[in-house]
Structure 1
């Protein structure tokens, strides 16, 4: 038997059903260690040494995992497949080693899966690895930067803006972007230009809007009608003759289905269609993921699980007919490398 550690109790319950009685599945309830909120937790003069402490709420979860390892001397870390998930696994391994719950003969492995389905979970268990220290080091650099920027900039912010909250890595960059944009606005040189449009109707009474794009045989650029007088002259030139439709072009257009959601597009669509904020969207997505209904949502990847693609094709075939199922499944790739 082995002790499997995931992040949330809902996920633990689902995975426990897939793995069966040969495994003990427990939840860490997120991060188990953090930097104490005091000066000196990150030491830039000593190779950025970081002092960690187990949170008060996490002590009972760490104890439960340590107690389980007394009976099952194997640990499988199955936290989320991202940088934070890797960091949680590393924190757990370090904490349990200090507690001597992990002994020299205790096998410790790391498994990752992008979907909580039986196939994905059982396949991940067949391909264990060690904790990816490059991902962990990326996390440590980010945490050190968060901490140092916050402790150095927050006092300045409090002195300049009484009542303001803390500064940080993200807020500082956002402020810089806002300042740069404001400087562009202040340096903007306003310039007048006019456009000419007409509301027209067909002999059948259909209404449509038209915009003047060429005048006197010359295509109009944005600033060609520089003032009201020139615009009025253009209107008079148009009104002095009868308007006719010279040609109508019909062009076929193909519309392809959108790519699967990634974090940003999921939040954009939820906001546009349902007015949901980012936090509400990700909370709903987290519950769907833990129930095994969607793949991992904190990602820029647009890959889909093969079993999900085949299941979707089967449903379309059954409900709507084979003519609506493409011969080959669509494959999506990220534009960015």
Structure 2
């Protein structure tokens, strides 16, 4: 909307120039207008002797349009606040400030070492940093201040706090006395480099020659869409899926994930687009190497690939235990070895003693952040014993989410394997808040809520694929998001069913075999059902208006047999069961995530301070950039 225009004095006015550009150059008219504004607003000292011109460093940048800038530099952000607000105003302020700052004088910084000395001379405190000798463009715009403030709002602790190059010190004179305001002792540990943000990753890609300005956004989006990374507090965190794919490519296609190869290929593509290379020759050379790599890997056994990935990712998925125990020892059988396995739903961690031991856990680091805070240290969390059967109730993480389980797999009298009873957690349930009583309530589903006071029919609560619901005869009703299916009372259930529509009506018995003929409400409208034979009703037909004779005729003419269910006998309908004592489960409580904590910055006091100055360093104003914030410093 800033480009398309906003309403100002009865006219639609565009506030910025065309935004789809990689250019950093501005028109001469715009530069002169900005220079006039700088001179009148800040004075001649802040105006460079000649206009500043910038050249993009990105390869193959699209510079058909000039840089993003305000169309009228006279419309200051504080003036634009009466026409725009919120994110639009903040974006306009960023564009306006960077455009004006790019034509201002460079800042001059003195690299300074300040030493504070206690009167007796026993204590000396030293600080390195920069003292601003002339603020230049910093008078209007400070990029580092914007970034640190944004990080504070996002809860990001800086990796190394301020370093000697970025720390700003107040102006001081040698021999100046200072007052002790407070004394605090802090301990600082060297932190690893922070993970990439969107801006820092794009900057690194530019340095390596990977991607182009027109493709950076799509590259970052693909990484997130395929769940190779997650964005946490504006920083990219590698996912286990991303680690798995990366390990596979590095192990078997190392040439094609090498940054040098990718950068070289990007340059060849640039040559093709610029008419300096013939595309068939480039593709032929690429295919010769790639086809050989495919031939070398296509005959590999799956087991060979899994073993290779298991070795490469072992230190990540099986970190060393603090107590010295073997991290690969199976917690279920205490004899098997845990390793990477491949199933229908993807990769997972399993026991080498399969099928005797069926222990599995998802492809995740035990106790890692986002894994329940250590609740699934071995893939299983013990909740307690069932009061009725004395079987252990556990909480586990499966391919489709977290669930609770009663007992373990076994065999029946005929030697056939049996599956334990399981129930998935509801979407709003916090795994950390699941207790034994809550698990018993989940395992008791479907449960009988009560008997309808007027119709004398049982009301049953269910857990379905699309959420909890209740039924009574042919009536069915999905619960509201505020209703707790585990503690839903009879009065609330009766109220919900009052607005429910019947799933089907029996309109009579078929004259041929005496079985009932029903009209049911389907996803695409009402339909007829007779045994395993179904037929759609004409569009607009009301369920109550269908007669038995009409139904028999439609079934004979348009009826189709339902396809058989998968499996020999299909799936039996779940019935209410009794697991443990009757409980009234408390509503689930969502545990709010703890905010990131950061130690408050402290100032070091003393009494004296001889200051030693160094030659002044100049800090240039930021270059105009279309895709990201960047400052050119000299």
Query: What TM-score, normalized to structure 1?
Result: 0.26
The structure where strand makes up a greater share of residues is 2
TM-score for the superposition, normalised by structure 2: 0.16
Between structures 1 and 2, the one with greater helix share: 1
Greater RCO, 1 or 2 (C-alpha within 8 Å, sep 6+): 2
Higher-Rg structure is 2
